[in-house]
Amino acid sequence: MKQIEIGHGSGGRLTRDLIRNIFLKYINSEELKPLEDAAIINLKDTKTAFTTDSYVIRPLFFPGGDIGKLSVCGTVNDLVVSGAVPRYISLGFIIEEGFPLDSLEQIAISIGEAAKGAGISIVTGDTKVVEKNKCDGIYINTTGVGEVVKALPLSNVSDGDAVIVTGTVGDHGTSIAIARDEFSIKSGVQSDCAALNDLLVPLFEVNGIKWMRDPTRGGVATVLVELSESLGYGVQVFEERVPVREDVRFISDMLGYDPLYLANEGKAIVITSGESANKVLEILKRHPLGKNAAVIGKVSSKFKGVRLKTRIGGERLLDMLEEDMLPRIC
């Protein structure tokens, strides 16, 4: 089996061959072809969104995706929930000596397909190789650049606004938990890993749109707690309205997880005025990724914190967990 060698990160012939035979074969754009130290990109006279992220997920391949697809989709989503149309992305690879080349090729294929599907150009990158046992296979760092077309500051949010989630929650976290083979569970749950620009960009035309966030680490609950603490308002959530797959709910109950705290990689929380909530739902439900969108709560100035109205009529406070239930989910 062909494997990554230390020399693949040295900047010499092996590095050149790796770039040509794998990366440029599946990941390509006019801006990337020169292979210069920096990409020259055209953003015109516009506000620019700029984000960076690192991906250390375990396992590297999971039902519904892999670290390559995740790195593109996660970066795209960080841009679009900031009110930007994603334009460019960079990739930095840290690869362990001995990593199988066929696995790297599959990751490169996933990156290329995800970038093409999201309409974003990969314009620059870097590769480093570290000694065996000094890295867990491969890590990927990204930087994303987008054109801001809709201002979505947190200060937009006000009393009475509706809280919408674009689909079922907890799918990604559940998929990763099962993929780690730490539990003897058979399930068809797949990660929801997806780029959300096609789903969310049409919402920029809705006047009542206030704010967006993708609920990755810490899930929906953590995002709403952060929103409440930053805003000084409360958030009322109705448990019976939160869309959760039955198999995800069953597995969560069995493992002691709460779907509201499980990671998502293809969902967004959207805050919109109460008057525009139905219009937003109508737009979301036209798209396959938004068919399960639902209003799950509202913003309130009458209290602080996040209150969950349970199915049985009780109420409990949602707070941040001390640490993620499932580390390394992205």
Residues 256 and 119 reside in one and the same domain:
no
Q: Is residue 327, in this structure, part of any structural domain at all?
A: no
Q: Is residue 326, in this structure, part of any structural domain at all?
A: no
Residues 82 and 68 reside in one and the same domain:
yes
Structure tokens at 112: 């290329």
Query: CA 104 to CA 94: how far, in whole Å?
Result: 11
pLDDT at 324: 74
pLDDT at 38: 59
Residues 61 and 198 reside in one and the same domain:
no
**In which domain, by residue range, is 98 found?**
6-148
Q: Is residue 189, in this structure, part of any structural domain at all?
A: yes
Residues 6+ apart with CB under 8 A from 70: 55, 57, 193, 265, 330
Residues 183 and 300 reside in one and the same domain:
yes
Return the DSSP state at 10: S
pLDDT tens-digit map of 137-166:
999 999 999 999 999 999 999 999 999 999
Picking from 203, 200, 231, 204, the residue whose alpha carbon sits closest to that of residue 299 is 231
Contact by Cβ (8 Å): 267, 169: yes
Q: Is residue 324, in this structure, part of any structural domain at all?
A: no
Contact by Cβ (8 Å): 299, 159: yes
Residue carrying structure tokens 């967990």: 321
pLDDT at 43: 72
Domains held by the chain: number = 2
Mark the ranges of the chain whose per-residue pLDDT is less than 70: 10-11, 36-41, 182-183
Residues 172 and 301 reside in one and the same domain:
yes
Residues 197 and 308 reside in one and the same domain:
yes
- How high is the mean pLDDT of the chain? 92
My answer on whether omega of the bond before 59 falls inside 30° of 0, hence cis, is yes
Residues 6+ apart with CB under 8 A from 251: 174, 177, 178, 185, 187, 189, 257
| CATH code, domain with 111 | 3.30.1330.10
Residues 164 and 188 reside in one and the same domain:
yes
DSSP alpha helix (H) spans, 81-218: 101-118, 171-179, 197-200
What single string gives the DSSP state of each residue in 28-71?
Answer: --TTTTT--SS------SS-EEEEEEEE--SSSEETTEEHHHHH
Query: CA 301 to CA 158: how far, in whole Å?
Result: 8
Query: CA 94 to CA 65: how far, in whole Å?
Result: 19
Q: Is residue 71, in this structure, part of any structural domain at all?
A: yes
Q: How many CB atoms lie within 10 A of CB 316?
A: 11
CA angle 299, 301, 302 (to 5 degrees): 115
Residues 137 and 12 reside in one and the same domain:
yes
| CATH code, domain with 221 | 3.90.650.10
User: Most distant CA pair in the chain: distance in Å?
Assistant: 66
| Domain final residue pick, 148, 178, 201 | 148
- The CA distances from residue 3 to 8, 105, 137, in Å, are 10, 11, 11
Residues 144 and 201 reside in one and the same domain:
no
pLDDT at 96: 97
| Domain final residue pick, 123, 148, 173 | 148
pLDDT at 188: 86
pLDDT at 308: 97
Structure tokens at 329: 């989910």
Residues 159 and 34 reside in one and the same domain:
no
pLDDT at 30: 81
